[in-house]
Structure 1
Amino acid sequence: MSERQTGQGRRRAREFEAFVAGAAPRLLHAATLLTAEPPGANPHAEQLLTAALAHTYAQWDRLRGEDPYDRTRQELAARFARGAWRHHRVRGGVLERLTPQERLILVLRLYEGVAEEQTAALIGLPVERVRAIFTRAVRRLCASPPTPPPHTQVQAAS
C-alpha cells in the first residue's frame, strides 16, 4: 500500500471516528426505541446500530457531501424494517406496546424529526398511510399509561 493510500485510510478512519463519537449516542437511543428495549439493557439495539454504522463506514468515501448521520439513520431504519432483529422478545421499553411499524414511524417522525414525506419514501409507504399509522401510534401511547418497571421493595432496617 502506498503512503498516499495509507494517509487516506488514516484520514478516513479519523473522520469516521469523529462522526461516531458525536452521533452514536443519539443513534443508539433511536435504535433502543425501535427495538423497545429498556435503556441500559439493549444488546439488540447495539447490534442494529453496529450493522448500520458498518454500512456507513463501507460507504464513507462515496458519501460526497451527503450527511453521514442521515445515511446511518436510513440504514438503521431499513435494517429495522427488514426485521432481522425480530428474533428477540420485547422486554419493557417505552414503546413496547406499539407494533414495529408504529415504532419505526414514531421514532423517525418524533425523535429524529424526519418529515412525513421523507419517512414515507424511506420505508416505502404512501404519505397517507404513514400519517394514519403515526396517528394510531400516538393514540395508543396516550390511551393508557406505560406499565411501571418491576422493582424490588427495600425493607427498612429497624
Structure 2
Amino acid sequence: MSYVLEAIGVPAGISLPTDNEDGEITFELFSLSGVNLLARTGGRVVFSPRMLEIAKRLSLQHGAAMLIRWDDRVGMRQAVVYQQGAITREFGEDDEIYVAIADAGLPGRRYTTAEVDQLDPDEVEVERLVDAIGAACRSTDWCPENSIRDFIRKQR
C-alpha cells in the first residue's frame, strides 16, 4: 500500500492550530519525540504550494519549521527547513546517503545518490542509510532523525 504525507514539523512544546486562516487546508496534530507534526488531512493528498506559506508563517511565529513531503508511489522524499521565515536548506534525493552491503551482510562503503546511479546493481547491493527527511532533521537542533521516519513507517 502506498503512503503520501505532506506535513509541517515544529519543535516539540509549541501549540499549533489544526487549520490555517482561510480553512483551505486542515491538519491532524501528532506529538512525536522532539517534534510536533501537523499532517494534512482531507482525503487524497496533492502537494499544495500553500504549505510552503504555512511553514514560513509558523517559522516566523515559532522560530523554526520543516515542510515534509513523502510519496511512496514515486519514491519522493523532500524536506524544506525554515528559520525565522526564511528557507535555510532544501533536502531531496541528492542529499540521501546509501551504504553498500557486504557479502556477510555487514555495512560497507557509503555512497551518495549520484554515486549509486553509476553502480552496477549486479555487482554492488546498497541500502538507503539516510533519506532526505532524515538529512533535514540532522541539520536542525530540534528534530530527532528517527521521529519522523518512525512515524511514517507506522502509517504505511
Under a length normalisation based on structure 1, what TM-score does the superposition of the two structures give? 0.30
TM-score, length of structure 2 as denominator length: 0.30
Structure whose residues are more often strand by fraction: 2
More helix by share: 1
